[in-house]
Amino acid sequence: MNQIYVLGLITNRGMRERFLQFFKEYHIEVTFTTLGRGTAASSLLDFLGMEDTEKAIYLAVITRDTWQGLKKGLYTRMRIDIPGRGIAFLIPLSSVGGKKVLQYLTAGQKIEIEEESVLQNTEYELLIAIANSGYTETIMDAARSARAPGGTVIHAKGTGAEHAEKFLGISLAEEKEMVFIAVKTSRKKAIMKAIMEKAGADTKAGTVVFFLPITETAGLRMLDEMEED
């Protein structure tokens, strides 16, 4: 199967529309964007040629084949090698919550679909749930029912709503909420199932769920104690 990754890209906020168009040219139809602020000192900003620290953060699910062309375009067209322009990176996916969700997230890219793609084996994983705005508590209640710990929520904007009707059979709003929860790998299937049943892609929450492998941890003692209980 063509390997699947989460693409992360951080750049200046003023580049948002340009990057969204750039992504579409490489058949990346579904992206999630949130805002951030850099922490570099002013002296470093001057050295990098950056005028401010206001950032846009993009996340998208892509295949290895898509990355090969995109990477070249980032250098030749978006000039990401210019100091201060931005940085892009790949994180391997460990699993995706359902065939239709995988089809939606990779719309336009060539991929062999499997119900669940297991790419990494780690003790802990990062659950990322992306839903329509206003459904955070629904997601967290579902996750807690399967013994998940607390999560962190950030607000984002999404693209690719037109593909949601095709693959998921529902309409999705542009305004999104992203929930991040670090979970034990042994609990992830139960947690993912609970979220999909109570707030999944076929509900008003319109939640898509996937996992990223966590290779090293610190401060997750509570998760170990919950597993022992």
How many Cβ atoms are within 10 Å of 83's Cβ, its own excluded? 9
Please give the pLDDT value at position 46.
53
Which residues contact residue 203 at a Cβ distance below 8 angstroms, ignoring those fewer than 6 apart?
Answer: none
Please give the pLDDT value at position 38.
62
Average pLDDT over residues 97-105: 90
pLDDT per residue over 72-98, tens digit each?
A: 999 999 998 887 678 899 999 888 888
pLDDT per residue over 2-55, tens digit each?
A: 689 999 998 888 888 899 999 999 999 999 999 887 655 555 445 544 445 678
Extract the tokens encoding 175. Answer: 């305004």
Please give the pLDDT value at position 161.
85
Residue 115 has pLDDT above 60, yes or no: no
Torsion of CA 71, 75, 79, 81, to 10 degrees: 100
pLDDT per residue over 195-221, tens digit each?
A: 999 999 889 999 999 999 987 777 665
Residue 126 has pLDDT above 60, yes or no: yes
Q: What is the rounded distance in angstroms from the CA atom of residue 215 to the CA atom of residue 124?
A: 7
Residue 117 has pLDDT above 60, yes or no: no
Residue 114 has pLDDT above 60, yes or no: no
Q: pTM of the prediction?
A: 0.81
- Using alpha carbons, select from 102, 121, 101, 98 the residue that is nearest to residue 111: 102
- Using alpha carbons, select from 86, 75, 73 the residue that is nearest to residue 16: 86
Q: What is the rounded distance in angstroms from the CA atom of residue 26 to the CA atom of residue 93?
A: 20
pLDDT per residue over 144-179, tens digit each?
A: 999 998 899 999 999 988 888 888 887 788 899 999
Pair 3, 120: CB distance under 8 Å: no
